[in-house]
Each structure stands twice: as structure tokens, then as C-alpha cells.
Amino acid sequence: MLNIRRFVLIPAACIAFFVTGSNGFSYSAWGAGLPEGFSERQPERERMVATQLTGWMRTTITDSAVLQAMLRVPRHLFVPPNQAALAYQDSPVPIGHGQTISQPYIVGLMTQALELKSGMKVLEIGTGSGYEAAVLAEITPEVFTIEIIRPLYEAAVARLQKLEYGSVKLLLGDGYFGWKEFAPFDRIIVTCAALHIPPPLFEQLKPGGKMVIPVGGTFETQRLLLVTKDENGGRSSKALDFVRFVPLIRGTPGSEW
Ligand code: SAH
């Protein structure tokens, strides 16, 4: 989940460096009454947003709902305790079973590309730690997420419950097939790389809907695509960036990976 075009420098980026913090979101500390952990490591989250998402080298994340969500979600509680020190660094972090929580910048880029609004129904494929699901849940209460590795699924269920993201609905299964029972979705986000756009996912997208998905093989640079379904069901897609994601696994859910 490496953003390999991160070093593009444009003059406007330099200006953005000086105005960081004035683009519609606040750095204020979150108050009392929140689940345990939300007030911890706030300065690191502020630094993450200021330098990795909106800093002078990274001008792409401007959506205030996304920035607010990422300021709020305690990312360090989504990684294993022995990785907690690395939770706010500018890179993916291992979460066990060969999987990783995406780099903050990539989470921001993908979430912003969804143009998610409150009340929209969003499906995520690849729950992993549950971090992206929590970011989505900060924007809309209608979040559905599917994970194929049982221990990750079970840990995410417990974590999201504990952190009061109880509105998120989780499923243990192969996300390639989507979640028919709750379809259609306004938005779909796939956080593992597929070899092609899974037809069931495109089918489960509402007309006018959007899907963000990395497409490509495991050992190659993949393209992060924004796929749009028009009102007549037609498909168009646009490449947003080059990325590296863990693969979308096919098969029966389990813990063997
Ligand atoms: N979004 C996650 C990180 C994703 S890592 C987070 O915020 O932490 C990719 C995840 O996709 C892994 O947890 C992996 O087990 C899961 N995955 C891979 N193939 C899948 C499939 N077919 N269906 C559902 N989940 C899958």
C-alpha cells in the first residue's frame, strides 16, 4: 500500500503547507464521554493529518469529513500491541496473518474518492483491523464490511463493538461475491487487490454509485481504480494512483492464511 507517486511537488503544494489546518476541520482535542482510547495519542493523529494527508508533499486529501474522521479514529487501537508504536507512521503496518492496515494516505485517498455522504450505504471488502470501517462509520451509519480470515474477522467484531462502532455490520465470507442481502450499495471500497473488477460487486452497486478498487497482480504495481456505474448501468473507470495491496483471496473463509 505504498503510494509510489508521493514525491510529486507542485507550487500549490507549498502554499498548502502554510495553510494546513485552515481547510474546514479543527485540531481541537476530543472531549470527555468518548470510549476509552479516543483521547490518547491525539497529537500524533494531528501530525499524521497535517503531514501525511494535507502536508506540502500531499495535497490531495481536502475532504473535511475524511480529515475529521481520520483525526478522530484511534488508529493505534487497530494494530497489534507490538506494532502500536508504528500506528501513525507513513506506511502500512502488519496486523497478522500476512495482512496489513493501509498507509494513512491511502486510506484518505480511497475514502475521499468515494465521495461518501451521511446516510449512504457503503460496502467494504477486506475488514482487516476494522480501521477503514471505523473511518467510514464516522461519515455514515450504514457500513457493511466483509473479511475472509476468521481471526481477523473475530478481532474486528470485538474491536468495533468496544470502540462503539456497533452500527457497522460485519460478515465472514468471500467478499468477491459482495453481500446480496443488503445490496444495492451507494459505494463499495475494496481494500485488497483483485485481478479484475468482481462482476457481483459491480452488480451490487446502485446506478450512480462508485467503487474504489485496486486492480492487478500480487507482485506487481496495481492500479487504484475509481469505477462509476451510470444511471443506465454502464461502467466507466479512472485510475487514481499506483498502489500495492495484499491480494483478494478466493475461497472458503478460514484461518489458514
Ligand atoms: N481495510 C483493512 C486493511 C485491509 S488488508 C483495515 O482497515 O485494516 C486486506 C484485507 O482483505 C485482509 O484482512 C484480508 O484478509 C482481506 N481479504 C482478502 N481477500 C478477501 C476476500 N475475498 N473477501 C474478504 N476479505 C478479503
For the domain that residue 214 is a member of, what is the CATH number?
3.40.50.150
Report H helices in the chain.
11-19, 42-47, 64-72, 104-114, 131-137, 150-162, 199-203
Percentage of the chain lying above the pLDDT 90 cut = 78
- For residue 247, the cross-strand partners are 193
Q: Is 152 in the pocket of ligand 1 (CB under 6 A)?
A: yes
Q: Which has the higher per-residue pLDDT, 173 or 17?
A: 173
Q: What is the mean pLDDT of residues 122-150?
A: 98
3 in any annotated domain: no
Number of domains in the chain: 1
Q: Is 73 in the pocket of ligand 1 (CB under 6 A)?
A: no
Q: Is 102 in the pocket of ligand 1 (CB under 6 A)?
A: yes
Nearest CA to ligand 1 atom 11: 126
Closest atom of ligand 1 to 192 CA is 9
The grid coordinates of residue 25 equal 476541520
Residue 197 has pLDDT above 70, yes or no: yes
Range of the domain at 155: 11-243
249 in any annotated domain: no
pLDDT score for 18: 34
248 in any annotated domain: no
252 in any annotated domain: no
Q: Is 126 in the pocket of ligand 1 (CB under 6 A)?
A: yes
Given a contact cutoff of 8 angstroms between Cβ atoms, the answer to whether 132 and 112 are in contact is no
Q: What is the mean pLDDT of residues 112-131?
A: 98
Nearest CA to ligand 1 atom 2: 128
Q: Is 103 in the pocket of ligand 1 (CB under 6 A)?
A: no
Neighbours of 19 (CB within 10 A): 9
Catalytic residue among 28, 64, 102, 129: 102
Beta strands in the chain (DSSP E): 93-96, 99-101, 121-125, 142-147, 169-172, 185-190, 205-215, 222-229, 235-243
Look up 28 and say whether it is catalytic. Answer: no
Residue 178 has pLDDT above 80, yes or no: yes
Residue 4 has pLDDT above 80, yes or no: no
Between 17-31, 79-93, 184-198, the lowest mean confidence (pLDDT) is in 17-31
Ligand 1 centroid from CA 249, angstroms: 8
pLDDT digits (tens, 9 = 90+) for 225-245: 999 999 999 999 999 999 999
Given a contact cutoff of 8 angstroms between Cβ atoms, the answer to whether 159 and 185 are in contact is no
The grid coordinates of residue 205 equal 452497486
Residue 51 has pLDDT above 50, yes or no: yes
200 in any annotated domain: yes
Predicted model pTM: 0.88
List Cβ neighbours of 150 (8 Å cut-off, separation of 6 or more). Answer: 172, 253, 254, 255
Total residues found in the chain within this entry: 257
148 in any annotated domain: yes
2 in any annotated domain: no
Percentage of the chain lying above the pLDDT 70 cut = 84
255 in any annotated domain: no
Residue 9 has pLDDT above 70, yes or no: no
Of 101, 147, 157, the residue with max ligand 1 atoms within 8 A of its CB, to mutate for a pocket test, comes to: 147
Given a contact cutoff of 8 angstroms between Cβ atoms, the answer to whether 108 and 121 are in contact is no
Q: Which has the higher per-residue pLDDT, 1 or 74?
A: 74
pLDDT score for 36: 81
Residue 26 has pLDDT above 80, yes or no: no
